[in-house]
Chains A and B, each alone.
Chain A
């Protein structure tokens, strides 16, 4: 459930370490500034990207992140895809519950990230890896 036309080439970043999570944040911030997101929305999308990139690293065992500027004809926006080939999520509803964690965190990353963006799409199955696409539109 995503809409809009891609603008320019998406930029990819592999996620294999904590430093890569920082790089993802910087990349997302650069693109968010380029598509003229407000300061609040920049912070929200950067934070969401930080959560999901860390999930990719910690639970997915590393993966890739693609950041692209998009446009739905009315507003520009930023779209980010997080993909890993890890164990996948068995119970998605449970994983999206506030406070549920299997890794000792606060259990707010996945559910919180969903609240921080406009569009949130997740494709996952046990053993099939996880692919999350988020979009934030400029207001």
Chain B
């Protein structure tokens, strides 16, 4: 049920004339449920902005939220719910913040009990519902984009290429190695090989919970790509259970060097590069 142009005009006037009373009551209700998680000044500013946008839209004759005249109101609402989503408020709290307007308006109506007022109120209530749902949708969209951002950040975070020694770089893989991550790993590794000119790369799979044929294929492809660029790859961190599984699956790593631990792999590479590692003689007590 949409507002008629008449009704929206009347409501705009009412909200404007009772501005102080409405915003005050509105702020009180929201503040009650937020329990001090938002500063009073910030809250008052938000409520006043919403109120101003609403009065503006109504006085221009907006009959529902999708109307041309309500563009600014939608923008303010979207801002409001985006802010709430970012600050960790729940969807219910965000939507209730808008629904609180109904109660605030009721206080502004005083004890006017005429049928016309009731009709206006019901029509207005439909508009507030629309606003609430719009807020809700924006909230969910914001949260979804936050999650997508975080997933991307995690992808970046979880694939560092570290320099272990002069001319030795290592990729410690942690977690699930799906196609997207394998691609990131390969790109990072190849780029680091170019940047550092390292002839050796160690791929450590200690943190990969399961090595199936897809993971193995991704690793093999990365190794082949690194070889094409003139670098040798060593795969380390092959735990006993992973080794047995790889054998049973029938995956062959061919002539690629594999080691049980990252330390073994580093020692192997150092030997290849001619770096001497020796234990210091224990000092003798006189």
Residues of A within 8 A of B (CB): 18, 22, 25, 29, 39-40, 42-44, 46-47, 50-51, 54, 98, 105-106, 108-109, 111-113, 115-116
Q: How many whole Å from A109's CB to the nearest CB in chain B?
A: 5
Contact partners of B191 in chain A: CB under 8 A: none
Q: How far is the CA of A39 from the CA of B243 in the complex (A)?
A: 12
Q: Within the complex, what minimum Cβ distance (angstroms) separates A33 from chain B?
A: 12
Q: How far is the CA of A50 from the CA of B210 in the complex (A)?
A: 9
Residue in chain B with minimal CB distance to A107: B213
Any chain A CB within 8 A of the CB of B250? yes
Contacts of B241 in A (CB 8 A): 39-40, 42-44
Question: Does B249 sit at the interface, judged by CB under 8 A?
Answer: yes
Q: Are A116 and B179 also in contact (CB < 8 A) when A40-B241, A105-B213 are?
A: no
- Could you tell me if A40 and B214 are in contact, using CB atoms closer than 8 angstroms? no
Chain B residues, Cβ within 8 Å of A108: 213, 249-251
Q: Give chain A nearest CB distance to B73 CB in angstroms.
A: 38
In the complex, what residues of A have CB within 8 A of residue B178's CB? Answer: 18, 22
What CA separation (Å) do A22 and B181 show in the bound complex?
14
Which residues on the B side are within 8 Å of A39 (C-beta)? Answer: 241
Contact A22/B212 with A43-B245, A108-B249, A112-B251 known, Cβ cut-off 8 Å? no
| Chain A positions within 8 Å of B176 at CB level | 22, 25
Give chain A nearest CB distance to B130 CB in angstroms. 34
Count residues of B near A (Cβ-Cβ below 8 Å).
Answer: 20
Q: Is residue B40 contacting chain A, with contact meaning CB distance below 8 A? A: no
Known: A18-B178, A22-B176, A98-B250. A44 touches B244 (CB 8 A): yes
Contacts of B245 in A (CB 8 A): 40, 43-44, 47, 116
Q: When the two chains form the complex, which single residue of A29, A44, A106 contacts B248, counting CB atoms closer than 8 Å?
A: A44
- Chain A residues whose C-beta falls within 8 Å of the C-beta of B210 in the assembled complex: 25, 43, 46-47, 50
> Are the C-beta atoms of A40 and B240 separated by less than 8 Å?
yes
Report how far A99 CA is from B178 CA in the complex, Å: 21
B residues neighboring A (CB under 8 Å): 176, 178-179, 209-214, 216-217, 240-242, 244-245, 248-251
Contact of B213 among A42, A43, A109 (CB under 8 A): A109
Residue of B nearest to A42 (CB): B241
Closest Cβ of chain A: how far from B262's Cβ, in Å? 20
For residue A112, give the distance in angstroms from its CB to the closest CB of chain B.
4
Residue pair B213, A51 in contact (C-beta under 8 Å): yes
Whole-angstrom distance between the alpha carbons of A25 and B210 in the complex? Answer: 9
**Is A40 in contact with B249, judged by CB distance below 8 angstroms?**
no
CB-nearest residue of chain B relative to A46?
A: B210
Q: Report the bound CA distance from A47 to B176 in whole Å.
A: 12
Q: Which of B211, B240, B244 has the most CB of A within 10 A?
A: B244
B216 partner residues in chain A, CB cutoff 8 A: 106
Whose C-beta in chain A lies nearest to the C-beta of B242? A43
Contact residues in A for B249 (Cβ distance below 8 Å):
47, 51, 108, 112-113, 115-116
Least CB distance from B39 to A in Å reads 39
Question: In the complex, what residue of chain B is closest to A28 when comparing beta carbons?
Answer: B210
Smallest CB–CB gap between B256 and chain A, Å?
Answer: 14
User: Measured between C-beta atoms, what is the minimum distance from A85 to chain B in Å?
Assistant: 23
Q: How far apart are the CA atoms of A78 and B179 in the complex, in Å?
A: 28
Name B180's closest neighbour in chain A (CB-CB).
A18
* Partner among A18, A22, A106 whose Cβ is within 8 Å of the Cβ of B251: A106
A-chain residues with CB within 8 Å of residue B211 when the two chains form the complex: 47
**B179 engages A112 (CB within 8 Å):** no
In the complex with contacts A112-B249, A112-B250, A105-B244 CB distance below 8 A: no
Q: How far is the CB of A18 from chain B (nearest CB, A)?
A: 5
Q: Report the separation of the CA atoms of residues A13 and B250 in the bound assembly, to the nearest whole angstrom.
A: 28
Complex CA–CA separation, A113 to B212 (angstroms): 9
Q: Do the beta carbons of A18 and B250 come within 8 Å of each other?
A: no
Q: Which residues of B contact A98 (CB under 8 A)?
A: 250
Residues of A within 8 A of B179 (CB): 18
Give Cα A61 to B217, complex, Å. Answer: 21
- How far, in angstroms, from A116 to B179 measured CA to CA in the complex? 23
